[in-house]
Amino acid sequence: MKTLDDLLSDGVRGRRVLVRADLNVPLDGTTITDDGRVRASLPTLKALTEAGARVVVAAHLGRPKGEHDARYSLGPVAARLGELLGAPVTLASDVVGSSARTTVGAQDEGSVVLLENVRFDPRETSKDGAERGELADELAALVGRDGAFVSDGFGVVHRKQASVYDVAHRLPRYAGRLVLAEVEVLRTLTGDPKRPYVVVLGGAKVSDKLGVIANLLTKVDRLLIGGGMAYTFLKAKGYEVGKSLLQSDQLDQVAGFLAEAEKRGVELVLPVDVLAATEFAADAPHEVVAVDAIPADRQGLDIGPDTRKLFADKLADAATVFWNGPMGVFEFAAFAGGTRAVAEAILASPAFSVVGGGDSAAAVRALGLPEDRFSHISTGGGASLEFLEGKDLPGVTVLES
């Protein structure tokens, strides 16, 4: 796999370089509420601009369904990226149209042009390789014959999309700083991690993590399950879960996981108590109950104090930790304690610690926890999980070919 350093050593002054970044940030109207992904793009972009490249950035925001939608414009991202880079970032008003061609054609050395949301073009996500190829051709044409492609959007490398996969076949291709760091970290987890190797999984649905659970049961020493997905596990063990989130169609699958963990000697740890609320609301009345005493009219919205201590004890001697998914509805202050407790237990352990992107990374920032004390915080929740599941990531395999 060729890297950004290989490209820089070849010389980029005056050359146009297409960078696929992941700038898919959460917005409240036009206000970015978490700029973590924008910040993660800076090392690659700064290295290129400081070397004199004309940088053209392709990125997406949300799911605009292949048409221009002002709600998903990258305008706020361009403004924030310019602030962080200390230089204006020009936003083209289209993806590969006249605005993109004119704006890119006029840019100076060491400058950055951000193309409008690449998912405004339906060819980006098309299942038809020929359609994606047409868009890839036009993206490649923007940077010209002397151009290059740098893949730095780890959050999309599990997608076979025009700006991720197809364009890499049309230009000299390189892994950016972020993609390289993410792949190296995840290969540590899937190779020969230091033990005990403990994985903490949370989030809403167990169905989102079937593949990764199956694969992790062959690799980990302990698997701690929290969040909404825990209630399907508890139900599979015979507990009543009231109105808690439950995927009844996954009960047989989960029962199989429980049996497989026992067979392999993997310690699969479930909550022993929860915060049971009257409704799904920030101010909902709630009480701590044991998992064998969840009232029929209540729903669990966070792990309880005994579970927090139990999980902390199971993390205390870990040498390697991977964490993906909150332990409760951390967006509500009353139900953020479990997620905070797990995060603080990971920080207190001596482990090489990886936060697997998505809601887990958002929770770290929302709760004001020190990001730099985790060994690595991934920018790609879905990509991280698919990597740990053992799947090939198209945006990575194309860089290795």
Which pLDDT value is given to residue 208?
87
Number of structural domains the chain divides into? 2
**Cβ–Cβ under 8 Å, residues 99 and 92:** yes
Pair (210, 130) in one structural domain: no
One domain, residues 59 and 150: yes
Residue 196: CA count within 13 A, CB half-sphere: 18
Find out whether 23 is annotated in a ligand binding site: yes
Same domain, 202 and 123: no
Report the CATH number at residue 239: 3.40.50.1260
Q: Does 396 fall in a domain?
A: no
pLDDT for residue 390: 87
The answer to whether residue 397 is domain-embedded is no
**Residue 159 known to bind ligand:** yes
Listed residues 131, 148, 180: the one ending a domain: 180
Contact between 126 and 163 under an 8 Å Cβ cutoff? The reply is no
Residue showing tokens 């053992």: 390
Q: Are residues 169 and 222 in the same domain?
A: no
Q: What is the pTM of this model?
A: 0.89
- How far apart CA 178 and CA 182 sit, in angstroms, is 6
> Are residues 146 and 225 located together in one domain of the fold?
no
Q: 27 lies in a domain? A: yes
* Opening angle at CA 381, ends 378 and 385, nearest 5: 105
Please tell me whether 298 is known to bind a ligand.
Answer: no
Residue ranges, the chain, pLDDT below 50? none
Question: 313 and 371 share a domain?
Answer: yes
Q: Are residues 153 and 43 in the same domain?
A: yes
> Does residue 61 have a known ligand-binding role?
yes
Tell me the residue range of the domain where 60 lies.
Answer: 4-180
Q: Any idea what DSSP says for residue 243?
A: T
Annotation-wise, does 109 bind a ligand?
A: no
Asked if residue 306 belongs to a domain, the reply is yes
Check whether residue 125 and residue 271 sit in a common domain. Answer: no
Clarify whether residues 246 and 160 are in a common domain: no
Residue 101, marked binder: no
358 is in an annotated binding site: yes
**Domain termination residue (choose one: 118, 145, 180):** 180
Measured in residues, the chain has a length of: 401
37 is in an annotated binding site: yes
Residues 90 and 224 in one domain: no
Write the CB contacts of 31 (distance below 8 Å, at least 6 apart in sequence): 76
Beta-carbon contacts of 211 under 8 Å, excluding residues fewer than 6 positions away, are 385, 386, 389, 390, 391
82 known member of a binding site: no
Residue 398 lies in a domain: no
Give the count of beta carbons closer than 10 Å to the beta carbon of residue 360.
29
Residues 45 and 153 in one domain: yes
- Asked if residue 399 is part of any domain, the answer here is no
| Pair (20, 164) in one structural domain | yes
Report which DSSP code applies to 108: P
**Would you name the residues annotated as active-site residues?**
37, 205, 358, 382
Would you say 133 is a known binding-site residue?
no
Contact 19, 150 (CB under 8 A): yes
Cβ atoms of 81 and 41 within 8 Å: the answer is: yes
Could you tell me if residue 83 is inside a domain? yes
Known binding residue 306? Answer is no
Residue 380 inside a domain? The answer is yes
Instruction: Please say which residue of 152, 180, 208 terminates a domain.
Output: 180
